[in-house]
Amino acid sequence: MFSFFRPKPKDLRSLVFQAVAGPRPAAVTLCRERQGEIWKEWPAWAQHLMMLQGRPAEAKSYADSLRAVAEIFHHDLGDSRLMRLFGDVPEDHGVAALFQRLSQARSLIQELQLDQALETLLVLLKEATGGPEHFELRALALGDMGQAHFFRGEFAEAEKFVKMAWEMCREMRDLEGMENHREGLFELLRYTDRREEARDLALEQARFLRSLELPEPAVAWQRRAQTVVGEPLLRVQVYFQDQCFELDALPPHQDGSLKVAFQRNRITLFPAQRSTRSGRALAERGQLAQAREQFQKAERADRHDPESRMLLGLVAMDEGNYAEAVARWEECEKLAPGYFHVRSDLWFARQLLGGHLSAQEWQRWRELEDGHLEPLQKLELGGRLPLAGGHYHRGHALQQLGRPSEARAAFQASLAEVSEPHLKNRILLALGGLDGERAVLQQAVDTNGCLVSAAMARWLLQPS
């Protein structure tokens, strides 16, 4: 499929570099004859310079050869594009004005003024009809049009423009642009549940990167191809020593900083993200009615988004609307099973709706979960919540205070009373971590009510 990469870039590069090291007339003739090919291969040549950073003498010689080619293009062929990349040629004012228009369109997209953004980009494309100096600009504009349509939920239009942008980048040999647009198309296919197509695209990108002798990004795309089909709605991934691991491929257990993060099977659309951020800020200022409006706006913007449903449930609880909270959190659980503490919160909402718990007990639970209390404060407040959750937080406070025997007793009391899987998972991890009992840790893995706790237990069980 990628026959345009023959002859290999390094063969043409060697030929050109050899020519610029010799008599100038011969080098000018070669550059004129192969001008289009050299321009197309230039991004790969420039990228190779980065690979020589640990070899300064070789890097300097290589950079000098690149500059010699750029100077021939500028002085002998009247083509300033390569010299402009060195920063030695002032930008054409017409091109600069078009790039300014592109910047305006991107600002409009960030503000979600998508109709105006698309109008601006269409005008830009009509004006950017010149030669090679407009190629990059057109590719960027097409990609931005794809993004704007994606944000509006117009997925067929988005796909069309992203593919057009990728084709332009391919013609220019813009490897970074090709990677970016492949990334966008992959996420579009994931979002619309076209998973086999997403897998095939990832495999194609992996093969392409291997052909350029770029093994690390190729491996990353290969991993995407392996996980995208059958990808669960929500899972956790482990980050250790700046590497990301799936739970079935954890490294041996060792000391070091470990992070666990949620990974959904599709991205959250930017309009939903933006409204959610606004809603959170309003909620922190106590403006719940305005926060609700923003969360509902996020809900409408992305029908797959669990976070807006989770936050709407919290607003409903603060308003005493337990039936709505149950409905919101049940929907969240369908969209992303195991999302944050929704399973525990849903249990509380159902108990409140049935009249089995009080609003005061809910508030104590939230304070224990979110209040960042000192151990003694947590110990006292946990004692005033005669539920599994109260015993659990008392156990953590006692552990922090250096009282492991009492902590163990509190965790065991919590385990005896717990009736929902999320908190049970957290209790099992606490007990297993306290005593190092592999059977208890394995039970935490198998329970999988709290995805994060199950992942941490799996890590503790890894052989050293």
pLDDT tens for residues 13-55? 998 999 999 888 889 888 888 887 888 788 778 878 777 767 7
Return the structure tokens found at 135.
């190629």
Is the N-terminal amide bond of 7 cis, ω within 30° of 0? yes
Which pairs with CB-CB distance under 8 Å and at least 24 residues apart come from 124-133? 124/98, 127/98, 127/101, 128/98, 132/39, 132/79, 132/81, 133/81, 133/92, 133/95
Q: Which amino acid is at 362?
A: W
Name the fold adopted by 110-234: 1.25.40
**Which pLDDT score is estimated for 29?**
87
**Which pLDDT score is estimated for 5?**
29
| Mean pLDDT for the stretch of residues 408-433 | 96
| Mean pLDDT for the stretch of residues 113-127 | 94
For the stretch 317-327, pLDDT in tens is 999 999 999 99
For the stretch 6-16, pLDDT in tens is 333 347 899 89
Give yes or no for a contact between 427 and 394, defined as CB atoms under 8 angstroms apart: no
User: How many helices (H) and strands (E) are present in the chain, helices listed first?
Assistant: 24, 3
| Mean pLDDT for the stretch of residues 147-160 | 96
Tell me the sheet residues that pair with 261.
237
DSSP notation for 280-292: HHHHHTT-HHHHH
**Which pLDDT score is estimated for 53?**
66
320: phi > 0 → left, psi -120 to 50 → alpha, else beta; which? left
| Mean pLDDT for the stretch of residues 271-285 | 95
**Which pLDDT score is estimated for 326?**
98
**Which pLDDT score is estimated for 205?**
95
457 band by pLDDT with thresholds 50, 70 and 90: very high
**Which pLDDT score is estimated for 269?**
95
**Which pLDDT score is estimated for 192?**
97
Boundaries of every domain in the chain: 3-85, 110-234, 274-352
Q: How many CA atoms are closer than 13 Å to the CA of 381, on its beta-carbon side?
A: 23
CATH architecture of the domain 274-352 equals Alpha Horseshoe (1.25)
**Which pLDDT score is estimated for 410?**
97
For the stretch 66-91, pLDDT in tens is 999 988 988 887 777 788 777 655 55
**Which pLDDT score is estimated for 370?**
85
- Is 274-352 in the same CATH topology as 110-234? yes
Main-chain phi, psi angles of 235, to 5 degrees: -145, 175
**Which pLDDT score is estimated for 417?**
95
Q: Kindly report whether the global pTM for this prediction surpasses the value 0.85.
A: no
- pLDDT at position 172 over 90: no
For the stretch 384-411, pLDDT in tens is 999 999 999 999 999 999 999 999 999 9
| Mean pLDDT for the stretch of residues 264-273 | 95
CA 7, 10, 16, 22 torsion: positive or negative?
Answer: negative
| Mean pLDDT for the stretch of residues 157-162 | 97
Of 152, 169, 150, 173, the residue nearest 160 (C-alpha) = 150
Residues 6+ apart with CB under 8 A from 1: 204
CA distance 413 to 113: 55
**Which pLDDT score is estimated for 293?**
98
Tell me the sheet residues that pair with 243.
240
**Which pLDDT score is estimated for 254?**
84
| Mean pLDDT for the stretch of residues 252-259 | 85
Report how far apart the first and last C-alpha atoms of the chain are (Å, whole number).
Answer: 45
**Which pLDDT score is estimated for 218?**
93
